Every structure is written in C-alpha cells, then in structure tokens.
Amino acid sequence: MIDSNYVDDLKACRDSCADETCTSFIFFGDKQCMVNVEDGGVHLRSPPRGQKARTDLKFCYPDNINAYQGCSTFVGSRDYALTVQQREVFDGLPPGYEGLRLCIELCVLSTQYACRSATFLVLEGTCSLSDADAERAPTRFERSDVVGQLYFENGCSTHPRRAQFAATSVSIERMVVKPKSHPVKALQIKPIKSRRRKLRRSRVALAKH
C-alpha cells in the first residue's frame, strides 16, 4: 500500500514514515511524498522529467550489536556504482527489500576487511562487497545502466573486529563454496533462525538519490 500526499519539506515526509509499518518513502522535487507500507521501496520509478527524487529505506537491526551504534544514513544510488574488483560476492539472497537488508548486514559485520560499500542486484539477490568507496576511488565511480542495481556506502564507523555481538543476533552466516570461473570469490548465505527477544532495535536508513 502506498500513501501519497504533498508536504512542506523532506523532514515532514520522513516524519510521516515514523510508524513501524512504514518501510520507505519517496520525496519528489515537487514536494510530493509517497510512503510505502507493504512495498519495500527498492523498486524505484523514475521521477517526472526535470524533477529529482530521494528514496529513504528503513531497516531494523538488534540493538545489542554495537557495530550499528552511531550509524549515519547510508547514501546510495541506482544510477552510479564502483567499477572495481569486489572483495566478496554473495549469491542466493532473497530479492527485494529483505535481500537488501541482509546485504547491509554483510557489509556492516564484515570482519576480514573494512567493507566501505556494496552493490545489490534487487532482482537476482546478489550482494557484492568492496573495501573501496566513491571517495577513495573517485575515478572508478561511474554511471551504470544495470537494471535493478543499488549501490550504497557503509554509514557505520565501528569495525566488527572491535565490535561485540552474539552469534544468535545475526541473521546470516558466511559459508565458503568452490570458486567459480570468475576471479571474485563466490560465497553463499546460510539463513539462521533468529530467536525472538524483547530488544530495542537500531534503525539504519538508506537514502537513494
């Protein structure tokens, strides 16, 4: 279900998505605000010609993982991506909103290296992690025409090697499989059934332009 109305500014649009049932919102240049309740908001429609639009997605993670403490808004883009060799590639994630949530978790909780950015293919459920970002490799940050691709940068500052979290708090587990023909290491995701706990949840917002 999508609720659409006109508001004064971006903050007013964001406030209208404060309810827990809201997963995302889109704010257009003409001040139209579209709030998504059932649709995850990862499938974007182009704004009217001559206008700009910003999409914010909201994700909730366990508050007892301090890697999520103090995270800023993750900045993302569907039109640009890094053309560098990825450190890890994960196949078999769910497509859409849930897969993007897991891709963010894989990047934030990467312990072998500092994951600074990632690319998620919404339709295929493929997550690629990188230790570079647009600031460190500006000449490799290029326009991309790949359909359903979302690039985002890690907005969390605490590296998991110094973070404390219980294994039961994470949603996924890394499993190494036989390398494929391409040079990028291929991995798979093993879902872990999360225990139900009464916890405050840390929210991570992903803003896409």
Does 8 fall in a domain?
yes
Does 28 fall in a domain?
yes
Give the residue numbers spanning the domain of 118.
Answer: 2-153
**Does pLDDT of 196 surpass 80?**
no
Does 63 fall in a domain?
yes
Does 40 fall in a domain?
yes
pLDDT at 202: 44
In sign, the C-alpha dihedral spanning 148, 153, 155, 159 is: positive
Does 16 fall in a domain?
yes
DSSP state at residue 66: G
Q: How many domains does the chain have?
A: 1
The CB-side HSE value for 29 (13 A sphere, CA atoms) comes to 9
- Cα 180 to Cα 2: distance, rounded to the nearest angstrom: 41
Does 176 fall in a domain?
no
Does 201 fall in a domain?
no
- The pTM of this model reads 0.74
Does 18 fall in a domain?
yes
- The domain that holds 86 is classified in CATH as 3.50.4.10
DSSP state at residue 41: S
In whole numbers, what is the pLDDT of the chain averaged over residues? 77
Q: Where are the alpha helices (DSSP H) in 95-194?
A: 97-108
Structure confidence by residue, pLDDT tens digits, 69-99: 778 888 888 888 999 999 999 998 999 989 9
